[in-house]
Amino acid sequence: MLEFLSQGSPAIVALLAACLFLALAFEFSNGFHDTANAVATVIYTHSLKPGQAVLWSGAMNFLGVILGGIAVAYALVQLIPPDALSPPDGRLAVGMLIALFVAALAWNVGTWWLGIPNSSSHALIGSLIGIAVANAVIHGRRLGEGVDWQQVWSVLASLLVSPILGFGLAFILFRLVRLAIRDRHLFEPPQEGRPPVWWMRALLILTCTGVSFAHGTNDGQKSIGLIMLTVIGLLPASFALNMDLPGGDFARLAREMPAAASLIERYGGDRKDLAVESARKLGERFGSIRSAKEIPPGERSAVRNDLNHTLSELTFAAEADGISPDEKKSAKSIHDDVMKSVQYAPWWVRILSALCLGLGTLVGYRRIVTTLGERLGKEKLVPAQGGSAELVAAGLIGAAGFTGFPVSTTHVVTGGIAGTMVGSGAGLQPATLWQIAAAWVLTLPATIVISGGLFLLLS
């Protein structure tokens, strides 16, 4: 549908601007969808009033985005194949971005409307996989080579393991709390307007703070990656490359490119010829510059294109059958060095992401709070359960944000609360459990089909 638009035309620029709006809208929806999990316990136990809890959580999300890294952001970006990621073809970038944002945003808003604590991360990852699968179909590539399945399984594994850990650790912690503390009010449903004992209230506020901050460090990074994809398409001359990369890094990359070309030639996939040529061009170009600013603005998109193809095939080569341990180590080392030239985020992108996530936190939390407080377990949530679940969630999500593993705040918190409900002997409500499980199971195939279908249509 977009083939009649010329690269860099006003229509393409307008569509890319619309994509930027959709990226910000997705992060806003992430705030009111996922962050409700962080405030559910303090609101439901009356530890904080709703307005106070939401404002405080929004501020902590903001800080989490600002102070967190960008490892998660680019772990997700790597799911997109270079054919769709490369900035020289603005039409392809527009189709990819529209399909990605519409699929993830539609699923996010739909599950929120139904009050189902589904994961924004899950929806986003499914949409990214849909892009990769559709791109392979468009180019007649086998799915084994057109999709980076190693990266897909790595991301999905963290999504699968994190709620299981949340469930198990919260179950154990709640059991320990029940053995160690005898204050019966901590194990009774909260009464209207009556907060728990001061130290439990302080713990619940502290864990709300931790989960909110951790959510910012993890989920906030995801929107940073999405915004960067969009601004690279909008202004490739300014954002296609890391303009602050030290000159010594370019000299090292120039020395590494012959080895990269050799590894790709021996162990690359079906696009290895293109990547070998890209690596050789990069070696020649980087050997003659000391800064990215020396690359003419009109050529930076093409350089980014070469970097994308080189990175993709280095990843494929590192996991190829027959590669020796030393060669695998070399491929990964070169890959990490090359990533520095494209893996970055300006300060204003962090601010923009943080603002959208923080503002989104201020609205729409009530549906999810009610589900977690009253509909998940057969009995209402008690303060000791809320404290146990949130303490575990804060630790798991925070650790994941700084180690580069994209986890779901929703899944971890929901798993934690479910663990405490089982630990108390109350059990879980089958109807709610089936709703959450169905959303969890359907999110990936639904978003894959929606984003992949849209990308095929637009491309």
How many domains does the chain fold into?
2
Q: Which domain covers residue 277, as residue numbers? A: 244-339
Which DSSP string do the residues of 135-164 spell out, in sequence order? HHHHTT--HHHHS-HHHHHHHHHHHHHHHH
DSSP 8-state class, residue 6: P
CA-CA distance, 37 to 162, in Å (whole number)?
15
Same domain, 321 and 402: no
Percent of the chain having pLDDT more than 70? Answer: 88
Q: In terms of domains, do 110 and 209 share one?
A: yes
Q: Is the pLDDT of residue 261 over 90?
A: yes
* Domain co-membership, 333 together with 216: no
Element (H, E) at 225: helix 198-234
How confident is the model over 272-291, as pLDDT tens digits?
899 999 999 999 999 888 88
| Residue 34 pLDDT > 80 | no
Mark which of 304, 339, 374 sits at the end of a domain: 339
Residue written as token pair 């060669």: 327
Residue 198 covered by a domain? yes
Would you say residue 2 lies in a domain?
A: no
- Residue 4 within a domain: no
Convert the pLDDT of each residue in 227-255 to its tens digit. Answer: 888 887 777 778 888 888 887 888 899 99
Residues 407 and 384 in one domain: yes
Tell me the whole-structure pTM to 2 decimals. 0.76
Within 10 A of 393 (CB to CB), how many other CB atoms are there?
34
**41-45, 262-266, 350-354, 404-408: the lowest-pLDDT one:** 404-408
Answer yes or no: do 206 and 294 share one domain: no
Of 302, 318, 339, the residue that ends a domain is 339
- d(CA 388, CA 384) in angstroms, rounded, equals 6
Whether residue 38 is contained in a domain is answered as yes
What would the pLDDT profile of 398-430 be if each residue is shown by its tens digit?
Answer: 777 666 676 777 778 888 888 999 988 888 888
Residues 223 and 313 in one domain: no
Are 215 and 258 part of one and the same domain? no
Question: Is 10 or 144 the better-scoring residue by pLDDT?
Answer: 10
Residue 85 has pLDDT above 60, yes or no: yes
**Distance separating alpha carbons of residues 437 and 429, to the nearest angstrom:** 12
Task: Establish if 433 belongs to a structural domain.
Answer: yes
Residue finishing a domain among 320, 339, 358: 339
| Closest to 230 in 3D by CA, of 4, 2, 26 | 26
Beta bridge partners of 150: none
> Is 358 in contact with 291 (CB distance < 8 Å)?
no
Residue 126 lies in a domain: yes
Cα–Cα distance for residue pair 36/31, rounded to 1 Å? 8
Q: Report the distance separating Cα 43 and Cα 45, nearest Å.
A: 6
Same-domain pairing of 99 and 193: yes
Same domain, 253 and 231: no
Q: Are residues 334 and 350 in the same domain?
A: no
Looking at per-residue pLDDT, the higher value among 72 and 165 belongs to 165
Q: Note whether 43 and 119 are same-domain residues.
A: yes
